[in-house]
């Protein structure tokens, strides 16, 4: 029976965002941004303004692809304060998408579960595997009345409200992109990466023969080169 995956289109949208934030951009998470703001301003406060935190994020934001930069800053223009808060929420949303998906995908891909058959895979997920998944921090704050509240966002709400098959969110071992595994035995994001992986596995399994063949090819090419140089009178 085919499973209902109404969430898939939205999940793929989040995966695309995460894949486009390459490591060279590095978008700090909320805790890192707070610590960086303390260091930048030279003072520690219980709360920073949205603009103060945005200023800390800016060096990273300016390096993002144009459409993601626009997605972050495309918020309703009301008061300046409200707009700043909206931009900060978008920044934290994009950062949480990236950090959460990259950690889940890495965790799944580094395990041996993707080599198991379906029943072994599900049995493992029902027992030990969830303990190795990263804890997703949605943030705990104290509101103006002094009451503890949690700070979430649409991505965390999306995870909470859908039964997402997390073991299908994986990291491609060739190009390091996050992808959704349409089959349980799918290990790479594309056919091209799959061909490269199979070639590397074959080379590893046939290391001695492969190296012998490479040495033979190198010796043959060197021999041809020497003959050409000799014929040209360079030797």
Phi, psi of 60 (to 5 degrees): -80, -40
Flag whether pLDDT at 30 surpasses 90.
Answer: no
Q: What is the pLDDT of residue 79?
A: 76
Query: 108 CB contacts (<8 Å, ≥6 apart)?
Result: 114, 166, 167, 169, 170, 171
Q: Are 183 and 169 in contact (CB under 8 A)?
A: no
Mean of pLDDT values over 208-225: 72
β-strands 169-171, 178-180: how paired? antiparallel
CA distance 132 to 120: 17
* Cα–Cα dist 40/36, whole Å: 6
Give helix then strand counts, H and E, for the chain: 9, 4
Q: Name residues whose C-beta falls within 8 Å of residue 180's C-beta, 6 or more positions apart in sequence.
A: 8, 11, 12, 15, 168, 169, 170
pLDDT tens string 80-139:
778 898 999 899 899 889 888 988 888 787 765 555 444 444 454 444 444 445 455 566
Strand partners, 178: 171
Q: How confident is the model at residue 21 (pLDDT cuts 50, 70, 90)?
A: confident
Predicted confidence (pLDDT) at residue 209 exceeds the cutoff of 90 = no
Q: What is the mean pLDDT of residues 188-201?
A: 92
CA distance 201 to 7: 34
Residues 6+ apart with CB under 8 A from 69: 61, 62
| CA distances for 229 relative to 111, 215, 217, 220, angstroms | 53, 21, 18, 14
> Could you report the per-residue pLDDT of 49-86, keeping only the tens digit for each?
899 999 999 998 988 999 999 999 988 766 777 889 89
Q: What is the pLDDT of residue 123?
A: 53
- Token couple for 234: 């360079």
Average pLDDT over residues 10-15: 96
Q: What is the CA radius of gyration of the chain?
A: 25
Q: Find, among 30, 80, 77, the residue nearest to 57 by Cα.
A: 30
Please state, in angstroms and rounded to a whole number, the distance separating the CA atoms of residues 100 and 71. 19
pLDDT bin (cut points 50, 70, 90) of residue 19 is very high
């Amino acid at each position: 029976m085919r499973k209902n995956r109404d969430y898939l289109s939205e999940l793929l949208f989040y995966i695309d965002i995460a894949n486009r934030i390459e490591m060279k951009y590095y978008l700090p998470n909320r805790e890192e941004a707070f610590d960086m703001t303390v260091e930048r301003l030279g003072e520690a406060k219980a709360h920073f303004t949205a603009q103060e935190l945005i200023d800390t994020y800016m060096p990273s934001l300016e390096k993002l692809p144009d459409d993601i930069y626009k997605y972050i800053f495309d918020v309703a223009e009301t008061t300046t304060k409200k707009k700043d808060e909206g931009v900060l929420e978008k920044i934290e949303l994009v950062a949480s998408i990236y950090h959460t998906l990259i950690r889940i995908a890495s965790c799944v891909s580094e395990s041996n579960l993707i080599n198991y058959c379906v029943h072994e895979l599900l049995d493992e997920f029902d027992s030990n595997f969830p303990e190795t998944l990263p804890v997703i921090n949605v943030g705990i704050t104290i509101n103006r009345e002094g009451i503890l509240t949690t700070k979430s966002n649409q991505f965390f709400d999306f995870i909470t409200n859908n039964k997402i098959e997390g073991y299908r969110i994986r990291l491609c071992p060739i190009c390091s992109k996050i992808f959704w595994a349409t089959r349980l035995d799918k290990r790479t994001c594309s056919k091209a990466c799959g061909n490269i992986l199979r070639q590397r596995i074959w080379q590893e399994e046939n290391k001695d023969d492969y190296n012998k063949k490479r040495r033979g090819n190198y010796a043959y090419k060197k021999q041809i080169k020497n003959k050409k140089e000799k014929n040209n009178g360079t030797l």
